Structure 1
Amino acid sequence: MSSGTRPAGNGRLVTGVAWALLLLGLWLWGRGVTEGPGGLSAPTTGDIAAVGRPLGAALPPARDPLPAVEPRRVEIPSLGITAPVVPRGLDSTGAIDPPPFEMPHTVGWYGPGTRPGAAGAALLVGHVDTDTRPAVFYGLSAARPGAKVLVTRADGSLAEFTIDDVRVFPRDRFDPAAAYGSRDPRRSELRLITCGGTFDPTTRTYTANVIISAYLTGP
C-alpha cells in the first residue's frame, strides 16, 4: 500500500498550466494512489478515526505565505512522525513518482507543484506500509484538527501548519477539487496523502485515500 502508484501502476498526472487539467491528472493519480504492497491491514481501523473539523472549533488564524523554499523534513509531533522529504516528479509513464518502496520512511513532495509555506496547496505523499512493516504515514488517519505539522525548509526556516481536517476519500467517489484544490488561493496550504480503507489482495489496491488538510499558522 502506498501514497502513490507502484512503478507499474496506471495512475497518471496530466501536466499543463490549466488548473482543470492538473485536477484531472491528480484525480487519475488518486485512483492509482491506492495501489501497493498491502502487507498490513491496520490502517483500515485507523480510518475510523478520520474526522472533519468540528463545528465551531476555534483554530489559529492563517498567516501570510512565506517565500517559496523547498522542504527537507516533515514532523507531526502528535503522531510521532518525523521524516526526510525528497522532491518527486513524474515517472516514464507520466505518473507521479512516489518514494521507492525501499524508502518506506521517506516522504515525497510533488516538486513541480507548490513549495510548503508558499501560497497554494503543497502535496506530500508517503507510504502507509510495505509487505512486512509499517511505513512513514501508517498512523496518519489518527491525526486530529488542531495538531501541528512542522516542515523544515532548505534555508533552515520552519513552516508551522495546523491541521484543519482529516478525510477519507473512497476510490469510487474521489473528488479531486476537494482533495487537492486550494481552499483559499491566497494562503499557504498543505496536503498529506496516503492510502486507506480496506485492502483487496486480489487487485492489490486499497479502497480509499486518507488526506490531511492543513494551513500555515506560523514560521
Structure 2
Amino acid sequence: MQAVTDPHAFPPALPPDLDDPAVIAAHDWAAFAEVASMNNHWERPGWSATTRAYYWMLTFKHATALIDQARHCQETVRDLRFDAIAEDGLHLTMGRVGLTTDITNERLDRLVESAGSRQLNAFTAQALPLTASRGAIRYSVAPWTPLLDLHASLSEACTQAGVALGKPTSSLRPHIGIAYCNRAMDAQPVRNAILPLRRLPPVHVEIDRVELVELRREDAAYRWRTVHQLPLA
C-alpha cells in the first residue's frame, strides 16, 4: 500500500513494515510517546443514548487466551480508573457502514449478499501488548496486510450495495482496545502503567469470521446486536 498519512488516524502515518510485529509495536509506542494528554473517549460528536449504527467488526468472545491476558492487563492498570472493556466486548473495528436510520433493510440485504459473494480468507493475527492512543489503552495488532485486504473487500461490497465504509483502507489502524479513558488527564501516568505490560508475550487469535453488527453505547461501553456473521474461507 502506498504510504498515506492521515492526521485523523492514530498513529497518523503507517508503520514502515505492515506485517512485522516488532516494527508495528514499536511504531505504535513511538506515536503514543508523543501524546502529552489523554482525552475523554466518550466526548465524541454524533452519539446519543438512542444512536444506532451498523459496523463491520471482528469480535473475540471465544478467544480465551486474549480474554485472560486482557483481564490481567486491566487489573494491572485499574488505578487509572479507566472504563474497562468487558470480555464479551473486545473487538477490532473494521469500519462504520452508517446509521440504522439511513440504511434500508433492502440495502442491508444487498450488502450482506455482496460481501458473501467475495473470497475472504481466514488468517491468524497477533495481539501485541500493550500501547495506547489519546483515548484508550489497547493492543497493537499484526500483521496488517490481511486486515487491510479484508477491509478493502468489505469496502468494495459496501460500494456495490450503495453505502460507504466510513474511512478508506489507507486510514485503518488495526487495534484491540481494553480500556477507555473517561476524562482529560496527563498521558505520562498511562505510559508508566502500561510499560511493564509490554513485556508480555503476544497472543495469537484466529480471524475466521467478520460480523456486521448494530452498535450502540450503553453505560460507558459499546454493545451490539449481530446482524450477520460472515465466515472467512
User: Shared fold (TM-score greater than 0.5)?
Assistant: no
- With the shorter chain as reference, the TM-score category is under 0.3
Ranked by relative contact order (alpha carbons within 8 Å, sequence separation 6 or more), the top structure is 2
TM-score (norm 1): 0.27
Please identify which structure carries the higher helix content.
Answer: 2
TM-score (norm 2): 0.26
From the CA coordinates, give the structure whose radius of gyration is larger: 2
